[in-house]
């Protein structure tokens, strides 16, 4: 039958770690340690990429690049990237276990999808060493995908490359990209899905793109909530998302909608 066979989720900010806070402060701190103040927005912008690529992307930002040149009298180089990453990894590893609570509705939604016969895959910007902490902790709390892979399993070619999605498809025996849905919370997730040719779905509340904790989001007025939801959705749609959902409970009915589109001959990016 022509319908969706599997869903591939991102991890932090999508299925665990509401708001994707685990890496943000570490990125800010490692730059502060070398005398450069970066903003939360700058620290979040490349989120979803392999973390060393994330640092490289931050250093390439015009404002940060100019500050680096001003401070050190030269442009950043690859050794600087590696030095910053060497500081980043141990600090993140030491705190990761505090950021693995499943996001509301995730465990229940995955159960619904499995009952419908869908396979559950996952990709991440974390390394295997990081996932060695995240995966068992998340499993204890009720979230366990059928398959996961890190950029370590694709020769460090993480997002926006499509290869982690292809490895999921191979492992889970998913027959075609247009029968796969990728769900993520960053622009990098959307680009990964676009490049793989699968349906791209951006989850809004709890996303790194929105950048708010649950308490911060709930403290907003209903008008302000709708405003930031709309802004986040617009960013995803501008970067290739086929659809956005406010939260995970909207995913099963969306998949039914996608199944109907497939029967009409629609494919990703044509809906």
One domain, residues 73 and 193: no
pLDDT digits (tens, 9 = 90+) for 90-124: 999 999 999 999 999 999 999 999 999 999 999 99
Q: What is the CATH number of the domain that holds 115?
A: 3.40.50.1000
One domain, residues 15 and 28: no
One domain, residues 88 and 160: no
How much is the pLDDT for 270? 54
Which residue numbers are catalytic? Answer: 10, 51
**In-domain check, residue 269:** no
One domain, residues 37 and 72: yes
**In-domain check, residue 254:** yes
> What token pair was written down for 176?
């075609």
One domain, residues 137 and 68: no
**In-domain check, residue 52:** yes
Q: Which of 180, 174, 151 is nearest to 9 (CA)?
A: 180
Specify the pTM: 0.95
Rg (the chain; Cα; Å): 18
Q: How far apart are CA 30 and CA 61, in angstroms?
A: 16
One domain, residues 110 and 39: no
Q: SS3 for the chain, per residue?
A: CCCCCEEEECCECCCECCCCCCCHHHHHHHHHCCCCCCCHHHHHCCCCCCHHHHHHHHHHCHHHHHHHHHHHCCCCCHHHHHHHHHHHHHHHHHHHHHCCCECCCHHHHHHHHHHCCCEEEECCCCCHHHHHHHHHHHHHCCCCCCCCCCHHHHCCCCCCCCHHHHHHHHHHCCCCHHHEEEEECCHHHHHHHHHHCCEEEEECCCCCCCCCCHHHHHHCCHHHHHHHHHHHHHHHHHCCCCEEECCHHHHHHHHHHHHHHHHCCCCCCCC
One domain, residues 130 and 198: yes
- Residue 247's CB: how many other CB atoms inside 10 A? 15
Structurally, how many domains does the chain consist of?
2
**In-domain check, residue 215:** yes
**In-domain check, residue 16:** yes
Of 82, 97, 112, the domain-final residue: 97
How much is the pLDDT for 271? 47
**In-domain check, residue 105:** yes
Q: Which residues are annotated as a binding site for Mg(2+)?
A: 10, 12, 185
Of 47, 62, 97, the domain-final residue: 97
One domain, residues 139 and 217: yes
Q: How far apart are CA 69 and CA 212, in angstroms?
A: 32
One domain, residues 238 and 253: yes
One domain, residues 206 and 111: yes
Q: Are strands 180-184 and 6-9 parallel, antiparallel or unpaired?
A: parallel
pLDDT digits (tens, 9 = 90+) for 148-161: 999 999 999 999 99
How much is the pLDDT for 1? 67
- Structural domain harbouring 218: 6-20+100-263
Q: How confident is the model at residue 269 (pLDDT cuts 50, 70, 90)?
A: confident
pLDDT digits (tens, 9 = 90+) for 212-230: 999 999 999 999 999 999 9
pLDDT digits (tens, 9 = 90+) for 239-263: 999 999 999 999 999 999 999 999 9
**In-domain check, residue 270:** no
**In-domain check, residue 107:** yes
pLDDT digits (tens, 9 = 90+) for 22-67: 999 999 999 999 999 999 999 999 999 999 999 999 999 999 999 9
Q: What is the CATH number of the domain that holds 83?
A: 1.10.150.240
One domain, residues 30 and 10: no
One domain, residues 68 and 108: no
Average pLDDT, the chain: 96
Q: How confident is the model at residue 2 (pLDDT cuts 50, 70, 90)?
A: confident
């Amino acid at each position: 039958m022509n319908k969706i066979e599997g869903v591939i989720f991102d991890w932090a900010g999508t299925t665990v770690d509401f708001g994707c806070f685990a890496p943000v402060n570490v990125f800010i701190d490692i730059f502060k340690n070398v005398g450069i103040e970066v903003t939360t927005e700058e620290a979040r912008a490349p989120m979803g990429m392999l973390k060393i690529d994330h640092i490289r992307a931050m250093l390439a930002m015009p404002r940060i690049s100019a500050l680096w040149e001003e401070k050190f009298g030269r442009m950043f180089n690859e050794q600087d990237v590696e030095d910053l990453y060497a500081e980043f990894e141990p600090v993140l590893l030491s705190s990761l276990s505090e950021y693995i609570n499943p996001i509301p509705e995730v465990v229940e939604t995955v159960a619904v999808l499995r009952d419908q016969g869908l396979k559950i895959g996952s990709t991440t910007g974390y390394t295997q060493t990081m996932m060695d902490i995240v995966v068992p902790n998340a499993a204890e709390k009720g979230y366990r995908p059928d398959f996961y892979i890190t950029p370590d399993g694709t020769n460090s070619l993480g997002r926006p490359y499509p290869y982690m999605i292809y490895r999921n498809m191979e492992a889970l025996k998913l027959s075609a990209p247009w029968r796969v849905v990728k769900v993520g919370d960053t622009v990098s997730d959307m680009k990964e899905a676009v490049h793989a040719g699968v349906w791209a779905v951006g989850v809004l509340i709890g996303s790194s793109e929105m950048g708010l904790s649950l308490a911060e989001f709930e403290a907003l007025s209903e008008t302000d909530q709708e405003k930031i939801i709309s802004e986040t959705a617009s960013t995803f749609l501008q970067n290739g998302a086929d659809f956005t959902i406010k939260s995970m409970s909207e995913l099963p009915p969306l998949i039914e909608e996608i199944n109907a589109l497939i029967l009409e001959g629609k494919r990703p990016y044509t809906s």
